[in-house]
Amino acid sequence: MRKVTKINAINDYAPSTAKLKTAVYCRVSTSSEDQLASLEAQKQHYESYVKANSDWEFVGMYCDEGISGTKKENRNELLHLLMDCEHRKIDFVITKSISRFARNTTDCLEIVRRLSEIGVAILFEKENIHTRNMESELILGILSSLAENESTSISENSKWSIKKRFQNGTFKLSQPPYGYDSEDGMLIPNIEQAEIVKRIFAETLAGKGTRAIALGLNADGIKPLRGINWSATTIRGVISNEKYVGDVIFQKTYTDDKFKRHYNSGEKEQYYIRDHHEAIVSRDDFELASRIVEQRGKEKGVDKGIGKYSKRYIFSGIIICGECGSTFKRRIHQANKYGQYIAWCCNKHISSNSKDCSMIYIREDNIKLAFATMMTKLSVGRTVVMKPFIEDLRMIDEDGVFAKLNEIESLIQENSEQVKVLTSLMTGGYLEPALFNENYNILMTEFSKLKEQRSALENDVDGKKSLISEAQELNQYLTKNSCIIKEFDEALFQKFVLGITVFSPTDIGFRLKCGLTLRERMAR
């Protein structure tokens, strides 16, 4: 056997007399007293922990309080930490866990890669992962995917709470539209602005176009709610806003599983409340103005809505730009020439002529090759990737969802027993009807609340079960079809892939239905 000696890269850590400049990053997601107490405990622990190591020099602690971990842009202290790393003020970063550091897989991997490039290592204490010693990013990618799934679960619970307020009509609008003020969650007409709203509708009914109305308001020095000047789009928004007749529609927009907001075009339920507040214009005027604007749009060939094309191609609507969040559209490059090929391009990059997004096109044949390569790697490494991933999914229960579900089931059973006892006492003549009704109503109210809580928890459990089911199906396929995948298989892609994220023209991530996002390099 030949002797092989490993020569470490220049930026690999080697013992030296200089101490490692060590920083700590902490985060709590809410500003509650309990969470802030937890943050204070983390600060004390890590400051002592770092100072106790003679090879480390404590250079500071970076703490984000009451901040969600889904996007790094929202966390000022994390960005401050990264800037100090870039300026070589820090050699080593310690953090409690991946979920405290980043619940967004993309952010986590990008930060780790960048810090590794500049020679800064990270220690994730809970998972015992030291990025300096990692041979691969695969395990970190899986664990950060799990952290992202946990964040999604928390988001779903919050959405459930908001949905209940939609359903019972108790949801309070955070931002009143132009023409209204908000008082204790109710919309009250603003006298001055309401007159402008009436003017917009009156001029529309008189035959004036939206652009002409906007120009008139700007000429009179009237300012809109947002921005500097009125536009035709703003005027159309006023004319189509049901709040001006006293009604309200809840959930006009929604947040997807990547925490991006979209207009609701039927993807989610909506809730309509009639006569929710005082109207500014009559229903007849509102409906007639809406028909006038709609007819003018048809005459000009304006399409309504954002889904303006059908899903004709396998990648239609599922390729997302990692820079701006827009979808990619299919184009043919060098059409009718030798070397013609299909490319996919970011919509915002095209529409803004690259001003609002710098992401350039990617070739379709490269996407297909990257998928085949990714599936081959996954097939070869299935025993070290899929099985641990499935086990981790089964063990995810940090919020005690299953325990809470069992507890609620017990309370429901106890409630049913109490109802039976109460009914038997009533029928036996041991309880007055008035007292029976009082206690029965209390038990029924409690039963209704418990059912709602059980339903919310079951939805959470079903989401976890769905991910496990998808992961098991993928693992079974890989086990039965263990081989090198040389060509793109459309049926295979549709079976296991939810979408594609383009991080750069040479780096894309396949978002699998089981919750994993696996990145693959591409040629240009």
Q: Which residues of 242-278 are buried (b: 16+ CB within 10 A; e: fewer)?
A: bbbbbbbebbeebeeebbeeeeeeeeeeeeeeeebbe
Query: Among 78, 75, 73, which Cα is nearest to 95's?
Result: 78
pLDDT of 70 over the 80 cut: no
| 3-class secondary-structure state, position 67 | coil
**What tens digit of pLDDT does each residue of 232-259 get?**
888 988 998 888 888 877 666 656 655 5
SS3 content of the chain, % helix, strand, coil (to 5): 50, 15, 35
**Apex CA 111: angle with CA 106 and CA 113, to 5°?**
95
Beta bridge pairs of residue 28: 65
Quickly count: other Cβ atoms within 10 Å of residue 520's Cβ: 20
Comparison of pLDDT for 168 and 265, the residue scoring more: 265
Rounded to whole angstroms, the Cα distance separating 403 from 424 reads: 32
Query: Worst-scoring range by mean pLDDT, 148-162, 313-327, 438-452?
Result: 148-162
For residue 445, what pLDDT is reported?
80
Rounded to whole angstroms, the Cα distance separating 333 from 398 reads: 50
Query: Among 154, 152, 188, which Cα is nearest to 173's?
Result: 188
pLDDT of 441 over the 70 cut: yes
Query: Residue 281 has which token pair?
Result: 């214009």
For residue 11, what pLDDT is reported?
46
- From first CA to last CA, the distance across the chain in angstroms is 40
Distance of CA 208 to the CA centre of its chain: 41
For residue 12, what pLDDT is reported?
44
Percent of the chain topping pLDDT 90? 14
Largest CA distance in the chain: 95
pLDDT of 176 over the 60 cut: yes
Average pLDDT, the chain: 76
Query: Residue 323 has which token pair?
Result: 């820079």
pTM higher than 0.75? no
**What tens digit of pLDDT does each residue of 332-364 get?**
888 667 778 999 999 889 888 888 899 999 999
